[in-house]
Amino acid sequence: MIILALLMSMAVAIDTRSGKKLVLDAAAQAACITTQGYLSSDFTDDPEADCCSFIVCSAPHLNKTGFLGKCMGGTVWNTDLSVCDDPKYFPSCDPADCTVPVRTTALCGDLEDGTCCVGGREPVYTVLSDNSYSLSDGKPQFCPLGQVFSTSDCCCEFEYVVDPRCETELYIADPDNECCGFLQCFANKTGTVAIECRPPSVWNDVNKTCDLATNVMDCMNAYCGDEVTDLPCPPTLGEDQCCIAGIVYDVIDDITYRDSGSDRVNCCPVDDMSEVQLVFSKDDCCCEVPDEP
């Protein structure tokens, strides 16, 4: 998850609200339904599509359409992760050969009622109805099915109903699984997903964590399944390798490492509290505060 978040943070994609509308064929529609809603440009023969392009699915099982998005900031499309990614991982794609829209940096200025812009800069969006808007050309553009245009966020979005249980908590007790699991609220607070504690631990609703059963009086006799153990590590490791929970890591230097089964390099973060650069310890096989000299 940390790797994915880093990739997303360094990738900037074009605002797909004004992306080119595409008609999806049967193969693309089927792929949209079974993925997270993003496809590579291989699913379209549109002349504007290239290796920096991707498709944003829009209710393909209903209106059979999508939008053409573009990776910006010198990034290219990574089909496996469905993100705009660093081109160093894709030598066959040169961002310089991609057609990327040029965005104006002019300030919006004073806005009238029913208009908005993103980040205080053009283009200016004008609301035409609950689910439609226009840009400077005045042509109506419509939000995807089920969405409305919000001037406060200046985008098409679903009208969410917040789950009252998530107003103040991210993790809450599961009424259907009081001891062996908990509910985690969605980031937008519209619902929850049930998560099981790893046996033999139980849910401690006071500390908001999975805990030893001896620390939760009401769950001391609860059986949540047989104890789960980590996968074993290999009997032998390379000189610059370590292993934890069955995962082997290649130690590159003091602060960088990678999963031996991947070519992606991970970097230890800077501690938020002390602002100290963490280092990777081969002995503990994790990032930790460096020893004082």
Token pair in block for residue 20: 């080119």
Whether residue 127 has pLDDT greater than 80: yes
- For residues 127 and 153, the model is more confident at 127
- Residue 59's pLDDT is 67
Whether residue 271 has pLDDT greater than 60: yes
Domain ranges of the chain: 2-97, 115-158, 164-219, 241-288
Return d(Cα 283, Cα 24) in angstroms, integer: 52
Assess contact for 208 and 171: CB atoms under 8 A.
yes
**What is the rounded radius of gyration, in angstroms, for the C-alpha atoms of the chain?**
24
49-58, 87-96, 121-130, 268-277: least confidently modelled range: 268-277
Return d(Cα 97, Cα 285) in angstroms, integer: 41
- Identity of the residue numbered 86: D
- Residue 220's pLDDT is 92
Q: Using one digit for the tens of pLDDT, what is the confidence trace for 184-243? A: 998 778 889 999 998 889 999 999 999 999 999 999 999 998 887 778 899 999 999 999
Closest Cα to residue 56, out of 89, 103, 24? Answer: 24
Tell me if residue 87 falls in helix, strand or coil: helix
The pTM is what? 0.38
Return d(Cα 45, Cα 48) in angstroms, integer: 8
DSSP type of residue 232: P
Strands of 73-163, DSSP E = 76-78, 83-85, 115-118, 121-129, 132-134, 140-142, 147-150, 155-158
Whether residue 250 has pLDDT greater than 90: yes
Query: In Å, how far are 172, 231, 240 from 16, measured between CA atoms?
Result: 35, 42, 44
Return d(Cα 180, Cα 122) in angstroms, integer: 51
Whether residue 49 has pLDDT greater than 80: yes
Exposure on the CB side of residue 216, measured as CA atoms within 13 A: 23
- Residue 102's pLDDT is 65
Q: Using one digit for the tens of pLDDT, what is the confidence trace for 69-120? A: 888 878 899 988 888 888 888 889 998 899 887 665 688 889 999 999 987 8
List own/partner pairs for 85-88 with CB under 8 A and 24 or more apart.
Answer: 85/7, 85/11, 86/7, 86/10
